[in-house]
Amino acid sequence: MRNKIIKRILIGFLALVLTAGVYFLGFFTYKWSLSDTEQELLKILDAYDKHYYYQDPNIIDTICDAILDDYSDYYTPEEYEAVIRTNLGKNVGIGLSFLDDTNVISEVIINSPCFKAGIKAGGTVISAVSRNMGSTGENIRNFILDLSEGSNVTLDIDYSGTVKRYEVKKQTYNQSYVTYKNAEGTFAYVDNSTSMELKKISDDNLSKSGVGYIKYTSFNGKDGGLYGSVSQMKTALEKFKLDGNHTLIFDLRDNGGGYMDVLSGVAGMLVEKHEDRQVMSITKDHDGKETKHYVGTNYYSSYAFEKIYVLANQNTASASEVLIGAMLDYDTKGVVSIVLDGHEKNEETIYKTYGKGIMQTTYKYLDGSAVKLTTAKVFWPVSNRCIHGVGVTTSTSQKVLNAENENAFEYALSIIE
């Protein structure tokens, strides 16, 4: 019972924070306008601040952790500024990802300082030296994260016994959300002095006639033009069309989602058109109130798709799963197939997407801080299916396939006629 009371008080605290009028009311008017729960909380917080021995310097984070789900969060002004910058498609760093608990490079992010320096995945970072911080110990990743923006760092990387040295700077760079592969090679978005361009980055090609491949990393990138992921997708699909392709392998593996407005734009290219104002998804809040979200300007018919294979895995989540739902629900011509990668769990191979069918909304405050809260469940537009906690599996639709004994990309290639 005590825990329930405390949780009720803390929820009242969040309700207090979300009340916009707090900033404009006089103190006494404000205080007496609060509910009994909110006044009870103020008493506790006041006593905590004045008398509590074990004071927590991160009390706000502690409160949020106590009452919020894993998808909700509180941001300080500095943290929220970083979130906004990332959502626009601007990252700060050097552009390396590592395999778990190792210094082995798993990915070099396209258009990052490390990408431009010529660093490749597969190497092992054996040392990192910065004039600002000296030399690293074993934890290369934390060393790099702790560098301030603008810091230069020297990396020694071991590629199968050959050590190469690279000089890079931790800085802001524009993200390439889309990779396109055709018979010529692999293309991605690389910035020059004034804009982003779709450029060939390697000779790794797709030799299957009439087939193009697009990998889309997240439903972020809200900036204008080719700095935004919607425009990057559209330009890649225009190249797909000009190449004379009619079969698309669309890779959403490890795409953890993003924003509804970005999703709407991407859906306009990949969801079969049935009407001018077409529902993409439906959200329902805790009171049961429904909100319809619509497919953006629809270009689907202009690409003359004969087949679309969507690749997904256990990290395909949220907006990715909403897009899959809309593609399946409106696919009346049998164009769409979903191909699932398997992952091992308790000595069993599991084929499913992540299973996130809830939506978050972010509320910003006058001091620049913000709170992100889960505000609704998400349902597919025609089947009214919510995949939260379940994911997309073969039981979802006959159009969902398991990539048995090989990865989803190779499996999709093998079944293309």
Q: What is the pLDDT of residues 136-154, one digit of tens each?
A: 655 788 888 888 899 999 9
Q: Is residue 106 located within the same domain as residue 184?
A: no
CB 324, CB 338: distance < 8 Å = yes
Considering the chain, what is the average pLDDT of its residues?
89
pTM of structure: 0.87
**Alpha-carbon gap, residue 65 to 75, rounded angstroms:** 13
Q: 311 lies in a domain?
A: yes
Mean pLDDT, range 292-314, rounded to an integer: 98
List, as one string, the DSSP characters of 29-89. Answer: HHHHTS-HHHHHHHHHHHHHHHH-SS--TTHHHHHHHHHS-TT-EEE-HHHHHHHHHHHHT
pLDDT digits (tens, 9 = 90+) for 185-224: 999 999 876 789 999 999 999 989 999 999 999 999 998 8
All residues at 6 or more sequence positions from 114 whose CB lies less than 8 Å from its CB, including other chains? 94, 95, 96, 108, 155, 166, 168
**Closest by Cα among 296, 250, 300 to 271:** 300
CB proximity list for 267: less than 8 A, separation 6 or greater: 280, 295, 296, 323, 326
CA distance 141 to 125: 10
Q: Which pLDDT belongs to residue 406?
A: 84
Q: Do 62 and 114 belong together in one domain?
A: no
* 78 within domain boundaries: no
Work out how many domains the chain is built from and give that number: 3
Here the CATH number for the domain that contains residue 158 is 2.30.42.10
In this predicted model, which residue has the larger pLDDT, 49 or 247? 247
d(CA 229, CA 293): 19
Residues 154, 196: one domain? no
- Domain membership of residue 75 (yes or no) is no
Q: Are residues 131 and 18 in the same domain?
A: no
Residues 218 and 297 in one domain: yes
Residues 359 and 211 in one domain: yes
CA distance 105 to 119: 9
- Residue 282 sits in a domain whose CATH number is 3.90.226.10
Cα–Cα dist 236/230, whole Å:
10
- Nearest by Cα to 307 from 416, 229, 409, 182: 416
- Sort residue 247 into left (φ over 0), alpha (ψ -120 to 50) or beta: beta
Instruction: Decide if pLDDT at 370 tops 60.
Output: yes
User: Which is nearest to 361 in space by CA: 377, 374, 345, 349?
Assistant: 374
Do 149 and 19 belong together in one domain? no
* pLDDT above 80: residue 30: no
Look at residue 374 and tell me if it is in a domain: yes
Asked whether residue 82 is domain-assigned, the answer is no
**Residue 167 shares a structural domain with residue 307:** no
Shared domain for 198 and 110, answered yes or no, is no
What confidence score (pLDDT) does residue 20 get?
A: 43
Amino acid symbol at 59? I
Domain that holds residue 41: 2-67
Instruction: Say if residues 373 and 358 touch (Cβ distance below 8 Å).
Output: no
Task: Indicate whether 308 and 185 sit together in one domain.
Answer: yes
Residues counted in the chain: 417
